[in-house]
Structure 1
Amino acid sequence: MGLERLSETYAIIALAAIVAVVYAVYQCFFSPLARIPGPFIAKISPIYHAYIAKRGHIHRDLSNLHRKHGKVVRIAPNVLFWKAESYSVLQGTRPFDLAGQRNEKIHAEQRKLVARAYSMDSITYLEPQVNSVLVLLVNRLREIRVQPIDLGYWIQLFAFDVIGAISFSKPFGYVESGDDAGIFLRLRKALRSMGWVKHAPTFHRIHQRLMPYIGNWLASNDRNSYFFELASREIQARTNRDGDFKDIASQLFSVQKTKPEFNDTNIAFMMTSNVFAGSDTTSTSLRAIFYLLLKHPEKYDRLMNELESKRQTGELSNPVTFKEAEACTYLQAVIYEAMRLYPATGDLLDRDVPEGGMTIDGHYVPGGVVVGTSSWVIHRVQEIWGPDAEEFRPERWLEKENEGTMKRFFFAFGGGSRTCIGRHISWLEISKLVPTLLICFDMRLADDVELKEEHGALLFLEGLKVHMTPKDV
């Protein structure tokens, strides 16, 4: 009897091995994607994609894979470098979610409901709210006596408070206290978790079903629980305060009056996106801007000459207005260039190939395959940006003959119908904060500063230590 069971066990193992070998042979030699190059393990298992996402350097890894394998790279059995399954991890059970909604028709309808509130006209209407936080930031930085300052941390305090100010007419109070009360770490853990688990959707589904029995093991669930509850509380507090508020919440409530299907829960989910993603993306861009400027003194001096020249002729206020910042051509070039080199999203922005398939770089790709690209990769293609694509050269944005091409391939906020709806908020903050801090402080990097990079669902930058000396402005 024992020999029979042992024989059965061996037979099962042998059968499993045969199935595994047949599967590997099919993926490597007979799959429609077999001719597309990529790491061997990526051709036979989705674990590779989740692995490089989890270790925190997927933005660099994708660039290296393209350099090694060419324009099209296979990074999973059914994934090449339309919304893909990974976004289901983002959406969860949310009925309203521009980031996670895979259905293009539903996405278009949802975006149409909120587009006006997030347009540049609407956001610049909220500029006084940004000013109040910016003035407070400058005053708090002037009070600091211990040098160097972790400017990156203060920038994120500012970005998070601005989200509160423009969303609910009330900052969270982080700049004033100089402390985030632990919320940044919670955000980081959630985004770090989301960065890899979205490439392991089967694992995610199993975890969600078992969660009532095993508890929550995934920090990514905070997006649809902790941060949703935070946004809901802020909306309720905002509703309970008296006053004629000018904020995003009031604009969404106005939409609700004519579109009752846009209910309170949907508004809360939309505001959750503000809170969850609104500070990290902007603070990453701001960290990159100051770091690159201070690493390149000649660029810093050129920008300061532009700002001081305009200030002397009365063309620059304190704080700087958005309109004034737009008129500073070198400032705008610096912003574009820094965000080109350090876009906040470095993972794949993926889509499902529609029925009927498509041809990519001479390869036929059948329907259902996931394809995507990375802003980090696009922003380093020498055919677009030139042989100095890895260098910080803002002057490239002043070359009129290339301006149209460069802006076409500027992918820091994504592109097309899926362009980040909060891009105007981020651009307003960046355009105001950078020149205002530069005219209020002399700055230099602390010795041996190098930014530490980590990629979750977004790129995090750490270590921006700066000596800041207040100017008499």
Structure 2
Amino acid sequence: MMVAWAVTGFLLCIALVLRLLYNHSRLKSIPGPFFAAISDTWRVHARNSPGYGRRLAQLHQGYGDVVRIGPNVVSICEHVEIANISRRRLWEELVQNGRRLSDSSVTSTNQIRWHLREIQDYEGSIDESLKNIIKSIRRHRVLDLPSSLRYFAEDFINRVMINDPSINDDRTAGMPKTNTPSTQLSTATILCSMEDMVLKGPVSLLKRERFSCSGIGSSMSKLPEYATELISNPIRAAAQPLTPRDSILSIGIESMTATFVSTFCFLLSNPIVMATLKSEINTMLRFREKAAIPSWSEIRRYSYLDAVQKESMRHFTSRSETQEILGTASSWNHSRLPLPPKTIVTWHPHVLQFDRSVYGDDVNTFRPGRWLVTDTTQRNLMEKSLLPFNVCVEAYPIAQAAWLELKKAVVVLLSNFDVSYATSLLYDSVG
């Protein structure tokens, strides 16, 4: 009996050693920590530890652009490779859901311009929703701004991108829905700190209802239940981890929705940036009526608004977990990475979007002015790091239409209302 147990134990040890050797040999050409090559335990522990993005950045500084962080997992930090893989994955998703695109539609600038002309019918698709939310804001003296803006953006993107008439009705069931609980959860994350924000109405309305501000704390609507636990867990509140099952399109939609809402958060935290943006909006208002909703051609001239939103996207997405893509044979057709099938490719936004060689030494500072540099090479590098957003707007022009429409919403809201913290309004009423 003892001999049988000994033989069984010996065979198990042999099997374990063979398995570890197989794990090590699978990606032996990719440099990385030794223990990461034989077991996935190292990656799981590192990912669950604080400062994972900074840890990955240090690994890439030591090992290069491609680092092995698991037996079948690699981390990459080269935006060209990430863009190539993301384009192929997005192209496959769109084709599977009935959006017939050729390879040239993903990579050709001429094709992209042709598609942009094709989507002109989408201009103004947000106007009615925008008028409704303005009416709603004027009716309510105190507003749960993050939830309201989040639902506003999700409803609009759901109508424009998810219910795209060019997609077969039989296949739309497979498209990512923006109003699912998981998406709502990830969108609400860091925006919980905006719970105490309100939109102040016109000055006359403020004077007429001045005393109602004293009850601002009790009258604030509460966040949904799914966001309550995030308030007490700031680490998890950064963002929900993404798995290989998450589509590139759903991540792109999430980045647009989150950027739209977080823009107001960053503006409130940076009064100088807010004043500069308001100055740009007021300057542009001289050339049109205040009540009129700007057109796309006008929105494209708001250079500082574009810089603010890109900087907001950079800071927001950098707080997310790694974004994983499960590689297939077709995923590597346009990639220089010598990786076997079934390899999981991960990339962390912090590594790309906090690269000091690209963004400068003040990478941790919210400074929209960095996007207004005259050096086109540096600006292109910064814009290419906003992945997968830039891949989505290139390969799926309707995403570009949604992005322009959301920009219009920011301009209209800031030109019609003064955005401030509820506490400042409370102190004003008490004084």
- Matching residue of 1:130: 126
- Matching residue of 2:212: none
Unaligned runs of 5+ in 1: 171-181, 200-219, 224-272, 449-465
Give the AA of the match of 2:155.
D
Residues 196-251 of structure 1 show CA distances to partners (whole Å, capped at 9, x for unaligned) of: 6538xxxxxxxxxxxxxxxxxxxx8xx9xxxxxxxxxxxxxxxxxxxxxxxxxxxx
Give the AA of the match of 1:406.
M
- Matching residue of 2:32: 37
Distance 1:437 1:69 in 2: 42
- Higher RCO, 1 or 2 (CA under 8 Å, sep at least 6)? 2
Distance 2:122 2:396 in 1: 19
Structure-2 change in CA distance of 1:399 and 1:151 (3 Å)? same
Distance 2:335 2:255 in 1: 32
Identity %: 20
**Aligned partner (choices 390, 402, 406) of residue 430 of structure 1:** 406
Structure with greater helix percent: 2
Distance 2:333 2:116 in 1: 38
- Matching residue of 2:419: 443
Distance 2:92 2:43 in 1: 28
Q: Tell me the SS of whatever aligns to 1:390.
A: coil
- Matching residue of 1:399: 373
The answer (yes or no) to whether the contact 1:337–1:394 under 8 Å persists in 2 is yes
- Matching residue of 1:166: 160
Structure-2 change in CA distance of 1:80 and 1:299 (3 Å)? same
The answer (yes or no) to whether the contact 2:119–2:397 under 8 Å persists in 1 is no
Asked if 1:198 corresponds to 2:240, the answer is: no
- Matching residue of 1:310: 284
Give the AA of the match of 1:396.
R
Compute the TM-score of the two structures, normalised by the length of structure 1: 0.57
Give the AA of the match of 1:138.
I
Give the AA of the match of 1:404.
N
CA RMSD of aligned residues (A): 4.8
Distance 1:139 1:117 in 2: 36
- Matching residue of 1:150: 144
- Matching residue of 1:328: 302
Give the AA of the match of 1:198.
P
- Once the two structures are superposed, the pairs formed by residues 244-323 of structure 1 within 5 Å of their partners are 280-314=254-288, 318-323=292-297
- Matching residue of 2:58: 67
- Number of equivalences: 340
Distance 2:244 2:34 in 1: 20
Distance 1:297 1:123 in 2: 36
Q: CA deviation at 1:443?
A: 1.3
**Aligned partner (choices 368, 379, 384) of residue 358 of structure 2:** 384
Compute the TM-score of the two structures, normalised by the length of structure 2: 0.62
Q: Tell me the SS of whatever aligns to 1:162.
A: helix
Structure-2 change in CA distance of 1:328 and 1:190 (3 Å)? closer
Give the AA of the match of 1:348.
Q
The answer (yes or no) to whether the contact 1:43–1:74 under 8 Å persists in 2 is yes
Structure-2 change in CA distance of 1:446 and 1:399 (3 Å)? same
The answer (yes or no) to whether the contact 1:39–1:75 under 8 Å persists in 2 is no
Q: CA deviation at 1:24?
A: 3.1
Residues 287-322 of structure 1 show CA distances to partners (whole Å, capped at 9, x for unaligned) of: 221111111111111111111122134376543333
Q: Tell me the SS of whatever aligns to 1:37.
A: coil
Give the AA of the match of 1:20.
L
Distance 2:262 2:186 in 1: 22
Residues 324-379 of structure 1 show CA distances to partners (whole Å, capped at 9, x for unaligned) of: 2211111111112212222397533645688899877xxxx454455453444211
Distance 1:186 1:406 in 2: 29
Asked if 1:16 corresponds to 2:7, the answer is: no
Q: CA deviation at 1:136?
A: 0.7
Q: CA deviation at 1:438?
A: 0.8
Distance 1:311 1:73 in 2: 50
The answer (yes or no) to whether the contact 2:256–2:389 under 8 Å persists in 1 is no
Q: Tell me the SS of whatever aligns to 1:391.
A: coil
- Matching residue of 1:348: 323
Give the AA of the match of 1:121.
R
Q: CA deviation at 1:159?
A: 1.6
Give the AA of the match of 2:373.
E
The answer (yes or no) to whether the contact 1:325–1:432 under 8 Å persists in 2 is yes
